[in-house]
Structure 1
Amino acid sequence: MTGTHPLLEGLDPEQRLVAEHLRGPLVVLAGAGTGKTRAMTHRIAYGAATGALDPRHVLALTFTTKAAGEMRSRLRALGAGTVQARTFHSAALRQLRYFWPQFAEGPFPELIAQKAPLVSRAVQSVGISPERETVRDVAAEIEYAAVSLLGAEEYAERAQRRSLPEGVDPDAMVRVLERYGEIKTERRVLDFEDVLLVLTGVLGSREDIAAEVHGQYRHFVVDEFQDVSPLQYDLLMRWLGRRDSLCVVGDPAQTIYTFAGASDRYLRRLPVDFPEAQEIRLVRNYRSAEPIIGVANAVLARTARSPIRLRGTDRTGPAPAFTEYADDAAEAEAVAARIAAEIGGGRRAGDIAVLFRTNSQSRLFEEALSARGVPYVLRGGERFFARREVKEAIAIMRAASGRGGTDPLDAQVRAILSSIGWTPAAPGAQGAVRERWESLTALVNLAQDTQEKSALPVPLTAFIAELDDRAEHQFAPTVDGVTLASVHAAKGLEWESVHLVGVSEGLMPIGYAETADDIDEERRLFYVAVTRARTALSLSWSKGRRGGSGRRPSRFVSEIQAERRTTAAAPAGPRSPAPAPVKCRVCARLLTTRAERNRGRCAECPAEVDDAVLEAVIHWRSAKAEESRLPVFLVLSMPTVREIAEKRPEGLDELGRVNGIGPLKLEQYGAELLELVRAHRSG
C-alpha cells in the first residue's frame, strides 16, 4: 500500500496529499513556514521511488540559488539526487549554451553580471547625467520592461503610469532602452533577461530544439510561483509544451516584487489555464512560535489577496516587543544592546537578523554593532561570485594549486588570502572594506568546513572545483554574523530572532506607496518580515532622525494592536469550532482538500454519475461552445460536467459549490444547467 511508504511518513495530511498527487497539474497554496520545500521534495522523491516520475526527466525551478541548493541537498538525501533543481536563469543558461551552435554563428556571447557600465553609457547617450542612483533605477526599469515582455511602444504607454527614475521622462526612458539594446549588440553581450528571451524565442521557432527539450524534461515543479514574471511564465509554458505534469507552489500573501514585473495572477489563474488542476493548501506553520503567528495572522487579515490563515503547532515563545525610541541613533543603540545580550545569553550571531525597508537604514546598525564587537554580515548586494575580491581570490588560489602543498586545506586558504589583505579580525571600517573582508572570510570558513567534513586531506584543486560548481549555481558560502538585510533580500530566509526596525509611516509603508495596491504590497512585505522569525520578534521605530518628533508608528502596528485588543475583549471560552470534518461517502477517508470536500468523495473513489444528466450537459456544452465560438473546455471542463451529473444540484447555491462553477459561470449558465438537471435526472 502506498500509505506505508517510508517517504510519506512524517508528513502532515496536506503535505502527504501533495506528495501523493503525481498525475496532472497541481496548485499548492503554501503559507509562510508551512513546509512547502519538504512537501515538494517528498513528492518528487516519492514519485521517483514508485516509478511515477523518472528523476532524470524532472526539472525543479526556484527563484534563488540558495533555494535551489537546499532542494538539491534534500533530494540527494531522499534518494533522488539525479533530479535537476535550478533557478530559471541557471536552467535557461545551461540550455542556451548547449543549443547555441545549432541556431547561431560564432562563440557564445559574453554574459554581463552587472548592467551598470552599459546602462551608464546608454544614459549618457541621451543626455542624462549618469549619477549612481539614476543608473541603478534605470537598470531596474530596463529589467522590468524585459521581464514584462514589453516592446518599446508598449513600454512607452505603460511608463506613463509608472514612477520613473528622477529626471527621466517616458520618452527619455524609451530612448535609453533602445540605446542599451544597441550597445549590447555592438559588444556582442547578453544580460540575464536576454538569456530567457533568446531561449524562449528559440523554443518557439525551432521545433527540433523544442522537441529535444521536451524529451529531456517532462515533469516540472516550480517554487514561489507568486513571483513569476510574464517572461518566466512564457518560458515555462514552452518548456511544458502540450504536457500537464506541472506542480506549482506559492502564496499570494507573499507577492512582494510586482514593481519588478512579478505577478501572482499566474498562480491565481492556473486552474483556468489547466482546468484539471487540483488545489491543496498548506496552513500549518512549523517555523514560528504562537505569538509570532498571531501577529502574522493579524497582518494577513487586512490584505486584499485572499489570505491563508496560519495554524500554529503550539510552539511557545515570548510576546513580540513593540518599542518606540527618541531618534534613529537611539533605536540602533538599543537594538545593538539587545542583540549583544542575546549573544551573551548563548544565541548564535548567525541566528539573529536586523531587517529594514531600505538599505540606507543599515549604516547606524553597522556602527552600533561594531562598537560592541558584534560580528555582522550585509545581505542583498551584488552576486557573491561576481565580486571583484572573490574573483581575485579564486584566481590566486587556482595559480597556487599548481605548486601543491602539504598543509591542511584551511591553512593553505588562510595563507593565500592573507597575501591579498585578509585578516582573522574584522576591520573597524564599514562599507566596501567590511564587505571585502566578509567575502574573503566566507571563503576561509568554507575551506575550514570542507576540511572538517573530510577524513582525508582535501586538495586545493578539489576546493577550487567546488567553488567553480558553486559559482555555476550561484550558491554562495555564508559568514557567521548577525544578518543586516532589507526585507526584500530576506525573502526565503529565517532566523531564531528578528529585529524589524524603522517601522514608521514613510518607511513601512514606504512614502511613495500611495495607491491601495501599493499599500497592500507594503502590507505583504511587512507580513514577510514578521514570518522570518522563529522564536523572538521585536518591532521598533523612532520619532525622528535626530531628536525629532515628526514620525508616527506604522499603520501596520496600529492594525496589529487593534487586532490584539479585539481578541482580548472577546468573551472567554473556547474558540469558534473548526468546520466539521467531511468524510468520503464511498470509503469514509477524511477529506482534506476543498475540491474533495465539495465533491463529497476522494478523487480515486468511483462516482455515482447520472448518465442521462451527463449526456444532456455534454450536448448542451457543445452547443454553447459553438454558439459562443469558444473551446468546449472554456464553457465547462469535463470534470465539472461529471460533477454536475454526480451531484445533480437542485439550486444555485448547490450548483455554485461545484468545482469549476464560479460566480461568472453561475450567472451565465446557472438557470440553464439547473433546468437541464431537473429535466433529465433519474429517479
Structure 2
Amino acid sequence: MEQPDPSALLDALDPDQRAVATQVTGPLAVLAGAGTGKTRAITYRIAYGVASGVYDPSQVLAVTFTKRAAYEMRHRLAQLGVPRVQARTFHSAALRQLIHFWPTVVGGPLPEILPHKASLVAASTRRMGLGSDKTLVRDLAAEIEWAKVSMIDSAHYRQRVLRDGHEVPAGLSASDMAQLLDVYEDAKAERGCIDFEDVLVHMCGILQERPEVAAIVRKQYQHFVVDEFQDVNALQQKLLDLWLGNRHDVCVVGDVAQTIYSFTGASPKYLLGFARKHPGARTVELVRDYRSTPQVVAVANRLMSLSGRSAGTVRLESQRPSGPAVSFRSYADDRAEAEGIADRVGQLIAQGTDAHRIAVLMRMNSQSQIIEEVFGQRGIPVAMTHATPFFNRESVRLGINALVVASRGQSMQEEHAGSARQSPGTGVGGQAPASAGDIAATTNETESPHDGLVDLVKDILGPVGWSPQAPAGTALRERWANLQAIVQWAQDSAATTLGDFVAELRERAQYQVEPDKNGVELTTIHAAKGLEWDAVFLIGASEGQLPISHATTDDEREEERRLAYVAITRARDILEVSWARARSTSGRGARKRSRLFDGIWPEEPAQQRATPRHVRTSSRAASRQRAAEWEESASEQTRDLFLRLKEWRLEVSKEMSKPPFSVFTDQTLRDIATVQPKTLRQLRVIGGVGDIKLERHGAHVLAIVRGDNWRDY
C-alpha cells in the first residue's frame, strides 16, 4: 500500500488536532471535549508518525475501551494507509499476550475464562450462609470486580473502604465482604478457571516477575496511544506502566467531563496526574466541537461551569451553524411526558428525520417501559439496545453460514480453474474449459466486481429469507430486516469478492459491530456514550432519577452531573430535556425538578401556555435567547468576526439608505462567523443568503472572513 503523504495528512486537521498529530514522540495528554474529533486526531497522529518514518506500524499499540472503538480505529488507520497498527482493548491486548506466554511461563494451556461470575459468586455466598438471591449475587459480583480492578485484596479491603467512605453492598460488613473475596478466589481455584479481571492481573504479574518477558513485550511495542483515559482504573494503569517500563512514548486522550464509570473503579486522576507522572509532558486541548449546535454547546458548557469540580474540563466552542433553542419541558406525569415526546418525535419523522437519528435517553432502563408503550400505540418504530445481539440472532447466523459455505465453494472453483488453465491443450484451441466461476464472471461484462458481489450476496441469502421487498408479518419482516442489514453492508463494502466480504463480516462479529438501528433508540445514558443523534430527548430530569436516588455523596452527585453532560452532548441539532411532576395521573406532584439544572432551566418554559402579549413577544425572546447562547459558546475569534461583519453591514446599509437587517440579519451574520465560508458556494448554503444578496455582497463578506479590506473587492 502506498505510504501516506505527511503534509496531506496535516492539511486535513484543525490547528489543535495538528498539534496532537505532529508530536509523535514523548509524553502527550490530550484533553478532548465531546465532538471535537479526538479519534481523528489520534489516528492521524499514528498515520503521521508512520508516514514521517518515526513509527514502525507493527510497534504501535492503540488501546481503546470497547471492541467497537477498536474496530473503528483499525478501519480509520487502514483508510489512512497504515493497516498493520494494533488497535485493541486493554483486555484483548493482555489476553493475546497471556495466551502467548502462559505455556512457557506457567505451563500448560491457559485456564478457562469465566464468561460470567454469577455461578461462582452464588456458590461463594451459599458457603458463607448469605443465600443466593439474584440481586444479591449481582451486587456482590460488581463489588468483587471493583475490588480487583482497584487492586484491593481481602487483607486491605476493610481499611480501604473505611478510609474512602466506600459503601459495602447488600448490607454486608467490610469484614464479611473481605471474607467473600477469599471464598470466591478459593471457589475459582477449585474449578480451575480465571475471570475477566484475572487476565490483566496475571499479565501484570508475569511482566513484573519475569524481566525477560517484559523485555520481549517492550521491544514489540515502542509507542502507545490510550483512548478514553478518564476511564482507566488502577489495574489498567498498572498494566500500562509495565508495558512502558521506564519509557515515556505514550499519548493519552480523555475528557474529565465524561467520567461516568467510577462505580467500576475508573478514575480521572490518572489523566489529571499524567504530567506529574511523565516529566516534560505536553497537554493539548481539543475544544472545537463539530457535532453540536451553539445552543446545545452553551447548555453543556453551562452545566459543567456550575460544577464545583471542573478541573481538567474543556470549554467547548461549536463549529456548527446556529440551530433551534434547547427545549426544557415539564409534564404532569410520566405518561404525559411519554405522550409529549411521542408528539415531537412524530413531527420530526413527518418532517423527514430518519427514526434511527433520534434517541430518547434515560438514567435507568426501567424508564423505557412507558415510552415503549406510547410509541407502540402511535406506530413509532423503536430500536432497543438490550435486544438480542445482532450476531446471536438465528437468521443472522444462518445468513452468514450460507455466505461462508458459498465462499468456500467459490474458492475451490477458482483453485480448480487456475489448475486447469495451467494445463495446456485441455480445451478447444489449447484453452482450458471454462469453469462455473469463469462463466459467472463473464455473464455480464459491464457489471463491476462490486455490483456482482452485491447480486451474489442477495442470491445466497434468498433461500434463508431475503427478498427484494419486505414481507408481511412481524416474524418474517424481522428476519428479513436482519438479512437486509447484511445486504446493506455488502452495498457499502469496498470488497469485490465474496471471500473478502465474509472476512469483513467475521471482523464485525469479532468486534460486535452491529448495523444501525431501524427505529428511535431508547437507551440509558451510560450506553449512549460515544454515540450521537440528530435529535436527543433526555427524560426524567427530576430528583431521584437524574441525579439517581442513591447518589448521596458529593462525588456521586458530581458523577450524575457528568452523566447529564454526556447525554446533552449526544445531540447534534435538537435537544429537549424534560421531567414529570408525578409518576402517575393519580400522583400529587411529589417530584422535584433536578437540581443539576439550577441556573439553566428557564423560569417560564417556552411550552407553557401564555398570554396574548407573551405570544407576540415569544419570537423576540427566543431570538434573544439564541443570541445569548451563541455569545456564550462562540470563540473570541468568532465573536470578533461577527463584530467586523456588523460594522461592514452598518456602512453598507447607510450607503443604501436601508435598515441594517435588510442587508443581513444578526442571525445570518452569526452563522457566517461560525462557519467562516471560503467560497461563494459555501456562503450560499447559509440561511438568509439568497442569490441576489450573494451577487451583491458575497465578495465583500468573503473578504472580511479572510481578514482583507472589503472595499478592495
- TM-score under structure 1 normalisation? 0.75
Alpha carbons 2:294, 2:629 under 8 Å: kept: no
Name the amino acid aligned to 2:233: S
Deviation track 1:219-255 (CA, whole Å, cap 9, x = no partner) reads 0011111110000000001111122110011111111
Give, in angstroms, the shift of residue 576 of structure 1: 12
Alpha carbons 1:63, 1:224 under 8 Å: kept: yes
Give, in angstroms, the shift of residue 167 of structure 1: 4.3
Give, in angstroms, the shift of residue 441 of structure 1: 7.1
Distance 1:3 1:447 in 2: 34
Number of the residue aligned with 2:101: 99
Q: 1:224 to 1:393 in 2, by over 3 A?
A: same
Distance 1:374 1:505 in 2: 29
Instruction: Verify: 1:298 aligned to 2:302, yes or no.
Output: yes
Distance 1:343 1:227 in 2: 36
Name the amino acid aligned to 1:448: V
Alpha carbons 1:138, 1:165 under 8 Å: kept: yes
Distance 2:262 2:595 in 1: 22
Matches within 5 A, 1:547-626: 547=585, 548=587, 549-561=589-601
Number of the residue aligned with 2:620: none
Distance 2:629 2:537 in 1: 32
Q: 1:242 to 1:340 in 2, by over 3 A?
A: same
Q: 1:518 to 1:478 in 2, by over 3 A?
A: same
Q: 1:333 to 1:230 in 2, by over 3 A?
A: same
Distance 2:299 2:55 in 1: 40
3-state DSSP of counterpart to 2:87 = strand
Name the amino acid aligned to 1:494: E
Matches within 5 A, 1:350-369: 350-369=356-375
3-state DSSP of counterpart to 1:195 = helix
Matches within 5 A, 1:387-426: 408-410=456-458, 412-413=460-461, 415-416=463-464, 426=474
Number of the residue aligned with 1:452: 491
Give, in angstroms, the shift of residue 469 of structure 1: 2.8
Number of the residue aligned with 2:336: 330
Distance 2:483 2:317 in 1: 41
Number of the residue aligned with 1:189: 193
Number of the residue aligned with 1:267: 271
Number of the residue aligned with 1:119: 121
Give, in angstroms, the shift of residue 321 of structure 1: 1.0
Instruction: Verify: 1:493 aligned to 2:531, yes or no.
Output: yes
Give, in angstroms, the shift of residue 369 of structure 1: 2.1
Matches within 5 A, 1:66-215: 66-160=68-162, 161-215=165-219
Distance 2:492 2:218 in 1: 39
3-state DSSP of counterpart to 2:318 = coil
Number of the residue aligned with 1:502: 540
Distance 1:90 1:171 in 2: 34
Alpha carbons 2:396, 2:483 under 8 Å: kept: no
Give, in angstroms, the shift of residue 354 of structure 1: 0.8
Distance 1:347 1:573 in 2: 24
Number of the residue aligned with 1:587: none
Name the amino acid aligned to 2:304: L
Query: Identity across aligned pairs (percent)?
Result: 45
Instruction: Verify: 1:371 aligned to 2:383, yes or no.
Output: no
Which range moved further: 108-117 or 408-417?
Answer: 408-417
3-state DSSP of counterpart to 1:279 = strand
Which range moved further: 288-297 or 394-403?
Answer: 394-403
Larger radius of gyration: 2
Give, in angstroms, the shift of residue 570 of structure 1: 12
Deviation track 1:478-508 (CA, whole Å, cap 9, x = no partner) reads 4322221111111111111111011101111
Alpha carbons 2:399, 2:461 under 8 Å: kept: no
3-state DSSP of counterpart to 1:5 = helix
Number of the residue aligned with 1:521: 559
Name the amino acid aligned to 1:305: S
Give, in angstroms, the shift of residue 476 of structure 1: 3.7
Distance 2:456 2:14 in 1: 45
Alpha carbons 1:396, 1:416 under 8 Å: kept: no
Deviation track 1:375-404 (CA, whole Å, cap 9, x = no partner) reads 32222678766x586997589759976996
Name the amino acid aligned to 2:560: E
Name the amino acid aligned to 1:22: V
Q: 1:177 to 1:426 in 2, by over 3 A?
A: farther
3-state DSSP of counterpart to 2:562 = helix
Deviation track 1:543-591 (CA, whole Å, cap 9, x = no partner) reads 11112210111112223137999x979999988997899xxxxxxxxxx
- TM-score under structure 2 normalisation? 0.72
Alpha carbons 1:410, 1:447 under 8 Å: kept: no
Stretches of structure 1 that go unaligned for 5 or more consecutive residues are 429-436, 582-683
Give, in angstroms, the shift of residue 111 of structure 1: 2.2
Alpha carbons 1:384, 1:390 under 8 Å: kept: no
Distance 2:96 2:472 in 1: 38
Give the counterpart of 1:226 among 226, 230, 234.
230
Distance 2:561 2:480 in 1: 36
Distance 2:200 2:139 in 1: 22
Alpha carbons 2:542, 2:580 under 8 Å: kept: yes
Number of residue pairs matched? 566
Name the amino acid aligned to 2:121: V
Which range moved further: 336-345 or 24-33?
Answer: 336-345
3-state DSSP of counterpart to 2:601 = helix
Distance 1:118 1:413 in 2: 42
Distance 1:186 1:399 in 2: 40
Deviation track 1:176-219 (CA, whole Å, cap 9, x = no partner) reads 32232222222222222111111111111111211111111100
Name the amino acid aligned to 1:105: G
Alpha carbons 1:298, 1:563 under 8 Å: kept: no
Alpha carbons 2:381, 2:520 under 8 Å: kept: yes
Distance 1:441 1:168 in 2: 50
Stretches of structure 2 that go unaligned for 5 or more consecutive residues are 411-439, 441-454, 606-623, 639-713
Distance 1:457 1:117 in 2: 46
3-state DSSP of counterpart to 1:506 = coil
Give, in angstroms, the shift of residue 473 of structure 1: 3.1
Which range moved further: 478-487 or 409-418?
Answer: 409-418
Alpha carbons 2:290, 2:320 under 8 Å: kept: no
Q: 1:317 to 1:427 in 2, by over 3 A?
A: farther
Q: 1:80 to 1:464 in 2, by over 3 A?
A: closer
Q: 1:577 to 1:526 in 2, by over 3 A?
A: closer
Give, in angstroms, the shift of residue 516 of structure 1: 1.5
Give, in angstroms, the shift of residue 465 of structure 1: 4.5
Matches within 5 A, 1:631-642: none
Alpha carbons 1:442, 1:478 under 8 Å: kept: no
Alpha carbons 1:410, 1:451 under 8 Å: kept: no
Alpha carbons 1:397, 1:464 under 8 Å: kept: no
Distance 1:458 1:572 in 2: 52
Distance 2:594 2:257 in 1: 19
Instruction: Verify: 1:539 aligned to 2:544, yes or no.
Output: no
Distance 1:401 1:120 in 2: 45
Distance 1:578 1:143 in 2: 43
Q: 1:279 to 1:457 in 2, by over 3 A?
A: closer
Deviation track 1:637-669 (CA, whole Å, cap 9, x = no partner) reads xxxxxxxxxxxxxxxxxxxxxxxxxxxxxxxxx
Distance 1:249 1:167 in 2: 38
Give the counterpart of 1:252 among 232, 253, 256.
256
Instruction: Verify: 1:340 aligned to 2:346, yes or no.
Output: yes
Distance 1:265 1:61 in 2: 18
Deviation track 1:384-440 (CA, whole Å, cap 9, x = no partner) reads 66x58699758975997699699943564475479xxx9875569xxxxxxxx98x7
Number of the residue aligned with 1:312: 318
Which range moved further: 405-414 or 227-236?
Answer: 405-414
Give, in angstroms, the shift of residue 444 of structure 1: 2.3
Give, in angstroms, the shift of residue 351 of structure 1: 0.9
